[in-house]
Structure 1
């Protein structure tokens, strides 16, 4: 994990249970006799996230509607810290902090996890976007229930399904960063097969237990789209070029490494001046994010001088 990630080492279940007693029914012993969690149970994962956010970030209230994506918090935090390092490259190795740093979260979801983590760790201002009004209502409830977030996080609905930046950015919008966790499956069946693999890896083979459709939850727009991750990334890259002057650094998670060559080729064709890929790992899971900017070195320096030091 990233060295600034708060989720280092084994989970402290004693502290987690103290901060969130409702977690106790979901705690199990793994094959080595250590306390763990029934990660195949969507309810367990949801309460576990609530406990983590309360214990480590002081977020008193966090919940999502049943069936919505429940993200793995440590991995999401790694992405945020990687983006902070990216901004530090433009700022003499010092991470810019505070509300002047504007971040756009594409697909913030019902969980609002990236704005919560990014503001908690760096004080950045976030705009969270989504096409789902139920997800946005849930995210707004989380924001309203936690002191200090109302002034730092705002939400917008993307009214045009299939659009990403188009119809969302206003003419006077300028963002230092955008981030996104794309839907990486091409179908509901593909998403469900991933859940079955997780179930087997966790050793949950009791025939009396019913396999949940998705242990991490998730609506269709959160988990899959026509063409999967590759198709979504292609649209995102194309639209990013249309609003190139309004964003310093675009970025996106890329779950499948096989999609990287097409991403690099398209960014070259679109005229991106700089592309950076940052690898991440949590346990056995390997991931990465790609960041790209249409500003050259001098333009990025000018952006920093005008917007971060004014």
Structure 2
């Protein structure tokens, strides 16, 4: 993270680089790659592929709740560089109605990206979906990269979600999800002053952990806006 000044202005690591000491104390796999410099600062040798991989995997886990695996014999991306590219991409408009969307799907504003040679990490689709709710079509021709990318997508079993303005919408939507065989469904409610909103979340994976605290009421400060994220990962709904 030595080039923080050159990072995109919106990159989360530009003004607040990762705390290697804290991460090392929390993640043993990363700890063995952290050394102390002559000035007493914790440092990582970016010339070592194992260290770069450990840092990338650790940051994805700590800051985005993503778990991935990357083979040493393939490209190992750095999280900071990927985030800068995504921040740069956000400055350009996305198509609002993809031409490939089937007629049976509801028309809505959607961010769509095509990633060729997504790599073993599949980091762009995973981060884009987690951070921005973007939709991705990712391709890969290398068998090893394809296998790892597929595994990385599968093990990050994301939650889909929507926000509702009326409580009466919950029951029919939950029933429809049940009819479609969706194994995990949960909901919560938000309170902003006198305004109530309801959020419904579902996952197509039976073994995912239901986010903690989803069945409790959440009172939101008056000055805080409510925003639907498009997807939830396993964790509390804020």
Q: TM-score, normalised by structure 1?
A: 0.42
SS in 1 for 2:139: strand
Of 10, 14, 23, the match for 2:17:
10
Distance in 2 between the 1:86 and 1:75 partners? 18
- 1:101 is displaced (CA, Å) by 1.5
Q: 2: CA distance between counterparts of 1:104 and 1:45?
A: 26
Match status 1:49 vs 2:56 = yes
Shift of residue 86 of structure 1?
A: 1.2
Q: For 1:66 and 1:145, how far apart are their aligned partners in 2?
A: 19
1:23, 1:44 within 8 Å by CA — same for their partners in 2?
A: yes
Which residue is 1:114 aligned to? Answer: 124
Superposition TM-score, scaled by structure 2 size: 0.54
Task: Identify the structure with bigger relative contact order (alpha carbons < 8 Å, sequence gap 6+).
Answer: 1
Decide whether the 8 Å contact of 2:24 with 2:34 is kept in 1.
Answer: no
TM alignment of 1:53-202, pairs within 5 A: 53-59=60-66, 61-87=67-93, 100-148=110-158
The RMSD of aligned alpha carbons is 2.6
Q: Name the CA shift for 1:51/1:22 in 2 (closer, same or farther; >3 Å).
A: same
Question: CA deviation digits over 1:2-41, x for unaligned, max 9?
Answer: 2332223332123322442211111012343210112221
CA distances 1:58-89 after superposition (whole Å, capped 9, x unpaired): 11x2111231110111011111111111128x
Per the alignment, residue 33 of structure 1 pairs with 40
> 2-side partners of 1:67 and 1:99: how far apart?
39
What secondary structure, in the 3-state scheme, does the structure 1 residue paired with 2:43 have? strand
Task: Indicate if the aligned counterparts of 1:108 and 1:128 stay in contact, CA closer than 8 A.
Answer: yes
Cα offset for 1:119? 1.3
User: Take 2:37 and 2:109, find their aligned partners in 1: how far apart are those partners?
Assistant: 43
Question: Which runs of 5 or more residues in structure 1 are unaligned?
Answer: 92-97, 151-310
Cα pair 1:99 1:125 within 8 Å, conserved: no
Task: Tell me the alpha carbon deviations over residues 257-286 of structure 1, each in whole angstroms, 9 at most, x when there is no partner.
Answer: xxxxxxxxxxxxxxxxxxxxxxxxxxxxxx
Alignment CA distance shift 1:34-1:130 (3 Å):
same
SS of alignment partner, residue 118 of structure 1 = helix
Decide whether aligned partners of structure 1 residues 19 and 55 sit closer, same or farther in structure 2, where only a CA change above 3 A counts.
farther
Hey, what's the Cα distance between the residues in 1 that align with 2:45 and 2:62?
A: 19
| Residue 56 of structure 1: how far off its partner (Å) | 1.0
Question: Are the structure 2 counterparts of residues 19 and 144 from structure 1 closer, same or farther at C-alpha, using a change threshold of 3 Å?
Answer: farther
